[in-house]
Structure 1
Amino acid sequence: QDRLLWLHSIFALIYFILTILCMAHHSVHLEYRENEKVARTLMVTHIPKEITDPSLIIKHFHEAYPSCTVTNVQFCFDVRKLMKLDVERRKAMKGRLYFTTKAQKEGKIMIKTHPCARIFCCRFCGFEQVDAEQYYGELEEKLTDEFNA
């Protein structure tokens, strides 16, 4: 009944058909090109950490697979644990710096280190209180040693 709705529908259909025709026209000129660079990479996992010499791995592949040619050996490492340790170390460093500046203004600050200590705020629950600056300093040092190991 509404002429504007019909007009809108007809223009939408014409636009749709024109779009398909334009795409068909321009896709004719596209040609498929195969990538000339071919990477033949083999990833080997669970190599013992004691093996750090690439020549040992090349020698192994030459002995086990004489028809294959090994051109390069590169060692890769899973750095997820290192990244997590670094994030934790930075948090500990920020905590130490925060409590150092706060201790200069207010004096020695004691904190409860148990994860549930914030929920249970009574003093009789048995949560040990430690010096905040010392706690975060020791935590930062422990995480730094673990990160560098």
Structure 2
Amino acid sequence: MLRASYQKGIYLYYEGQLKGAKTILESFKDSVMEEDNNWMAEKEHCLFVLASIEKAEGHKNKAIDGFELYVSLFKNKEEAEKRLLEAYWHLSQLFMLSDKTEGALTYLDLVINNSTVVEEPYLMLNAYKEKAKYLFERNEY
């Protein structure tokens, strides 16, 4: 039952039906957050998708909270590096949209410091470009 609910929510998300996906995934999240680690991968993906939905709907603060919750699951886990970088990137963009420059710079630094040129060259380059743009706008170059 839980797996079918999760799969339906993810399917709706990828089909662009955000409202239905959000309703189903929030219910799934509430059902498994207190469960054991049997559902860890699904919980992680669910939190990322819910934060992405909030971002798509323009709910910046809810999206920031969602991505920060998602990121908190992965600290000190090597296998999650790429997902962390992606979440950090989304967070930097959300802070920029909210005119919270210090938060944006913090997450851009996390992207820069945690990505390597070989593995994530475009993400690293974009983070450097965004940081340079912000520092230039603030006359701190």
Same fold by TM-score greater than 0.5:
no
Between structure 1 and structure 2, the one with the greater Rg is: 1
TM-score, reference length from structure 2: 0.23
More helix per residue: 1 or 2?
A: 2
Q: Which structure has more RCO (C-alpha within 8 Å, separation ≥ 6)?
A: 1
TM-score, reference length from structure 1: 0.22
